[in-house]
Amino acid sequence: MGLREMKKQQTRQNISDQATRLFLRHGFDRVTIADVAAAAQVAKMTVTNYFPRKEDLALDLHEEFVGLLGRTVAGRAPGESALAALRRAFLDAVHRHDPVIGFSGPDFARMITESPALVSRLREFHEEREDALAAVLARETAAAPDDPLPRLVAAQLGAVHRVLFQETLRRTLDNEPPDQIAAVLAKSARTAFDLLAPSLNDYAVR
């Protein structure tokens, strides 16, 4: 990484860190872009150049979140189906208490759920992720452009991840310990993927 790119990355991270600190302290809806710019010691335009939408200051894992399922399927092992790859990856993320699947801590979970704007933006994330997964499934199975099957499969797999994400947030807000949440989540995930297995075990096998 060059010096210029490193400086840009550091500026972006500083803006994100300052925004998160302010959001957690005052609530997302009460903090302005100007507040974030002042805390990060940059111009308002610099903030919006890195984060065009205020919601993305709080939900700074947009690209990772949206692309996760599609990347997992695209990188599946030989002989592995899309379902098996996503099951394996999700259970591994549960073990790691990965923030991308909802392990964010009570303060962050509360910040999200108390802001209608963030709840709406998170819903968009889930929809974008499902669309991205459908595109990968269509490519990997050489589906015809008018074939709805990749979208139908992506909707089922996306629904599992969306419901489990919401369950993680709910239990986090109830102040359950992360290890306890992980144990319940792993059990629920196995049940959910098992329910899909009869239909999807042989779909998109590499």
Contact between 106 and 172 under an 8 Å Cβ cutoff? The reply is: yes
Distance CA 15, CA 6 (A): 14
191 near 87, Cβ under 8 Å? no
The predicted structure's pLDDT at residue 66:
95
Q: What is the DSSP letter of 203?
A: T
Quote the tokens at residue 116.
């209608």
Report H helices in 78-177.
82-96, 106-113, 116-140, 149-173
Exposed/middle/buried for residue 191 (C-beta within 10 Å: 0-12, 13-18, 19+): exposed
Q: So what's the pLDDT on residue 151?
A: 98
pLDDT of 60 reads 84
Closest CA to 157 of 206, 123, 195: 195
Residue 47 amino acid letter: V
Greatest Cα pair distance in the chain? 55
Structure confidence by residue, pLDDT tens digits, 14-36: 999 999 999 999 999 999 999 99
The residue type found at 162 is R
pTM, two decimal places: 0.90
Helices (H) and strands (E) in the chain, counts: 10, 0
Q: What per-residue confidence (pLDDT) applies to 164?
A: 98
The stretches in the chain having pLDDT less than 50 are none
Distance between CA atoms of residues 177 and 187, nearest Å: 16
Closest CA to 136 of 156, 119, 158, 151: 151
Instruction: Supply the pLDDT for residue 130.
Output: 98
